[in-house]
Amino acid sequence: MSTAKAIDAGVTARGIKAIEDLLGADARPLLEHRCEGIPRDMLHLPGPDFVDRVHGGSDRPVSVLRSLQQILSHGRLAGTGYVSILPVDQGIEHSAGASFAKNPACFDPEAIVK
């Protein structure tokens, strides 16, 4: 085993131990859970080939597939098949303000700022 792999294994083992310590007595059932409701072969797991594998056979335009691939190829999660998109503006206009406009007593915009 290379030094880098040994270091990674040690870091991973310490990380798992820390998680087990936090979970306490529930650690084993939570960490060893296996879903029986959805067969594993029905899942489309993320990966660098996600767009080709999952959407390639669809009738989506090439430009849409290209755009999706660009999103998946950028940022800290680039090439993993995962994507993290955060909203740019979390102001009041994108909150529940519009829903509570009729009853302002139920909506406190000060809470959003905090």
User: Does residue 28 belong to any structural domain of this protein?
Assistant: yes
Among 31, 7, 4, 2, CA closest to 19: 31
Instruction: Report pTM.
Output: 0.49
User: Does residue 18 belong to any structural domain of this protein?
Assistant: yes
pLDDT score, position 36: 86
User: Does residue 64 belong to any structural domain of this protein?
Assistant: no
Per the CB < 8 A criterion, the answer to whether 77 and 84 are in contact is: yes
Q: Which two tokens stand for residue 77?
A: 């999660």
* Enclosing domain of residue 10: 1-33
pLDDT score, position 7: 46
Mean pLDDT per segment of 10 residues, for the chain of length 114 residues? 52 83 92 87 90 92 95 90 74 59 60 60
